[in-house]
Structure 1
Amino acid sequence: MIKRILSSISLMFTHFFVFSQSDTEQKSPWPTISGSVDVYYRYNFANAKDASTGEKLTNNYTAFTNSQNSFELGMASLRADHTFGKASATVDLGFGKRAEEFAYANPDNPTLFAVKQAYVSYAVSDKFKLTMGKWATHIGYEPTDAYLNRNYSMDYMFSYGPFSHTGLKADIGLGAKSNLMLGVANTTDYVSQSNSRFFGLAQFSTATTDDKLSAYINYQGSYGGSYGLTQFDVVLTGTISDKFNIGYNGTVQSVKPDGGSADSWWGSALYFNLDPSSTFGITLRGEYFDNKKAVVAAPGTSIFDITLSPNIKIGNLTIIPELRFENAKDEVFFKNNGDPSKSGFTGILAATYHF
């Protein structure tokens, strides 16, 4: 079935490119170059150490900030976008620890570490576009690039959800403010795979005519093989005024390992975003993460975390002094003497710049 679908789409690409050769007679424009860099210092106030070895413990279970009492480079990114006629392409490269964590699924192919995104697209019409390659996930509230987030530390839902997809997708305009995305991709986060397991992808998005309310309903699900994964995700945003808006993200992921039974983890988060001026904003994020069945590699417990992140904006530079408190149902954090604890308190000083 999947081979017939891919063959049909391949014929569609050939048909459309043959009839768009007139585009090549135009002068090709220069690509648009953009980029970003983010750096941070993180300190967990417990300053925890392993009781037997004395080594530092980070008290961190989320992506990209696994350090203690250290200045760190998050990621330096360089992106090129080019459009010529109905065709377009994007190359998005990243360097640093953040980029390495993105590429965790292909550790034996270091040449892929730097490729955050790489895809080509063809706009069949103003309401139908095909894209093939690797792109950032559509699931979740928080984007992958640090400068696009108001909180610097990531939530648990992002950390244990998908980072990227490599495959083929179609973006379909449904009229007014509604759109549909359908796709098929490799196993989540894998740029290259040897198994026959694929993932179906979908997103339905809509908004009110004034864009003050918007909704994104997201899906990924595997087929092929005895392993199974299904995830449903919703993102809602509401603009209360030109200075205040609220975001919501809820997700549930069910995993069925080879030879095992299915179990689920889920999470829910609210984002309160206040911007009293063009140079200062503040975000309060509250998240509940339930992994009591130890479905993913996070601690097998439930965790509530609350994060306060002021944003000081100086042109394209944003400085984020952040405080984060976490409290778990079980003792999964550690104190200075190595004893277990149910809570953790962390401070971060981060800076992001984009161009």
Structure 2
Amino acid sequence: MKTIIYTNFGKKLLYLTILFVGVIGLAQEEEETSSPFSLSGSIDTYYRTTFNDAGLATTATPTSFANQTGFALGMANLIGAYEKGDTGVVVDLVFGPRGTEATFENDVLNGIINQAYAYWNVSENTTLTIGRFNTWVGYEVIAPAANFNYSVSYLFSNGPFSHMGVKADFALSDDVSLMVAVTNPWDTNDISATGEYALGTQLGVHGQYLNLYYDSGSNGGLGFEIDYTGGVDLTQDFFLGINAAYNKNSETDSGFYGAAIYPQLKTSDDFAIGLRGEYFAFTQDGFDDVPVLGLTLTGSYTKENLIIKPEIRLDSFGDDNEPFSDSDGAPTNSLSSFLIAAIYSF
């Protein structure tokens, strides 16, 4: 996770406006000629406040996104896709604090491009993709409309967000899939100045996924990570998601490990409630592990294309670690917060 300084606000807005108008115009033209062009996206915004024994505080959690207090913007997301025959292209644009943090603001359009890739369906069971694409590692994703919880986990925040390279997806059967990838090292989405590359793979079996990622760990890279993502429908309305990961950076002798469960209960056609229970630990050679317990209770109410998510979150570090500040500026090892988010998808 990185701290981002937001700059060139007007320039970014101009870029996004031009791209948005251009894509909308193309979409309308393609719709009239029944061409296989699709346009989708979302916007999200939220209100957040944090509390402790002394009263109101403004401390952020050491996870990505949704860390502002008061009223705040998540991001605007615009995805254009075009497919002709066996080939196609996807451009995924993001604008706002969540999008800028997810892209590290390191592309030619100042962090607007989240994904941009071309693909070729070589056969019915094989697809090749080249460009920038979001990671295959982890349970959660960047776009909030695809997550049950609005705030994100420690496991997601400390893993890779996106990759620049090439991957091949193979459907080995109806229930078994395999993906292999060669990319730039983590956090180098534009170029690999060192000449080093990363390797990744994903094996999927009956909706359960084993994910691997490896780079040398040099220049602050991620190193090695193994990750399991899956879940099971316990009943028609009760789903239990699971995520577990281990990471090691041999260059810095640091890493992390942890696990999270995601029980989610659908109480009606419009409302569901879910809990994320996460245990996470930072590691560094020669030092004690730094454990974190995160509990996040989220409601999800859907009205047509709008989703309203109230959320209560508790983050608690081990007794010897006090990364938060209370309203008086004194250090503390725990933080409770409340937010309510609105997500509109189209």
TM-score after normalising by structure 2 = 0.84
State whether structure 2 residue 197 is matched by structure 1 residue 198: yes
Question: Take 2:110 and 2:226, find their aligned partners in 1: how far apart are those partners?
Answer: 28
Larger deviation, residues 191-200 vs 224-233: 224-233
Q: Partner of 1:147: helix, strand, or coil?
A: helix
Show the counterpart of 1:178: 176
Q: Distance in 1 between matches of 2:328 and 2:289?
A: 23
CA RMSD of aligned residues (A): 2.3
> 2: distance between equivalents of 1:216 and 1:191?
24
Q: Equivalent residue for 1:33? A: 39
Q: In the aligned structure 1, how far is the partner of 2:337 from the partner of 2:217?
A: 42
Correspondence for 1:124: 122
SS at match of 2:255: strand
**Other structure's SS at 1:130 match:** strand
Residues 48/29 of structure 1: CA separation in 2 closer, same or farther (3 Å cut): farther
CA distance 1:234–1:92, shift in 2 (3 Å): same
- Give the whole-Å Cα distance in 1 for the aligned partners of 2:336 and 2:316: 9
Residue 13 (structure 1) aligns with = none
How far apart are the structure 2 equivalents of 1:239 and 1:266? 26
Distance in 2 (alpha carbons) for counterparts of 1:206 and 1:320? 31
Q: Give 1:81 shift.
A: 1.2
Instruction: Give the partner amino acid of 2:38.
Output: T
Equivalence for 1:288: 279
Aligned length: 308
Aligned residue in 1 for 2:239:
245
Give the conservation status (yes or no) of the 8 Å contact 1:198–1:224: no
The answer as to 2:94 corresponding to 1:94 is: yes
Tell me how far 1:292 sits from its aligned partner.
4.2
* Cα displacement (A) at 1:350: 0.4
What is the alpha-carbon distance in structure 1 between the residues aligned to residue 94 and residue 54 of structure 2?
31
- Residue segments in structure 2 that go unaligned for 5+ positions in a row: 1-32
Q: CA deviation at 1:235?
A: 0.7
CA distance in 1, matches of 2:283, 2:218: 26
**How much identity, in percent, do the aligned residues show?**
33
Q: How far is 1:301 from its partner?
A: 1.9
Displacement of 1:176: 2.8
Q: Is residue 315 of structure 2 the alignment partner of residue 326 of structure 1?
A: yes
Give the secondary structure class of the aligned counterpart of 1:159: helix
State whether structure 2 residue 205 is matched by structure 1 residue 215: no
| Cα offset, 1:294, TM superposition | 8.4
- Pairs within 5 Å for 1:1-355: 29-46=35-52, 57-68=58-69, 70-104=70-104, 106=106, 109=107, 111-193=109-191, 194-207=193-206, 214-223=207-216, 229-257=223-251, 260=252, 262-293=253-284, 301-329=290-318, 330-355=321-346
Shift of the 122–112 alpha-carbon distance from structure 1 to 2, 3 Å rule, reads farther
Structure-2 separation of matches of 1:42 and 1:86: 45
CA contact (8 A) 2:139 2:229 kept: yes
Please tell me whether the aligned partners of residues 28 and 84 of structure 1 are also in contact (alpha carbons under 8 angstroms).
Answer: no
Contact kept, 8 Å, 1:321 with 1:350, in 2: the verdict is yes
Q: C-alpha displacement at 1:223, in angstroms?
A: 4.4
Shift of 1:90: 0.5
Query: TM-score by structure 1 length?
Result: 0.82
Distance 2:220 2:62 in 1: 25
Report the residue type matching 1:36 in the other structure: S
Task: Check the 8 A contact 1:227/1:256 in 2, yes or no.
Answer: no
Cα distance between partner residues in 2 of 1:232 and 1:112: 31
Quick check: which has more Rg, 1 or 2? 1
Pair 218,48 (structure 1): closer, same or farther in 2 beyond 3 Å: farther
SS class of match (1:291): strand
Q: 1:197–1:225: 8 Å Cα contact kept in structure 2? A: no
For the 8 Å contact 1:48–1:338, the answer to whether it is kept is no
Residues 205-227 of structure 1, C-alpha deviation per residue, up to 9 Å, x if partnerless? 010xxxxxx21000110149687
1:322–1:316 distance in 2 versus 1, CA, 3 Å = same
Residue pair 2:305, 2:344 contacting (<8 A) in 1 also: yes
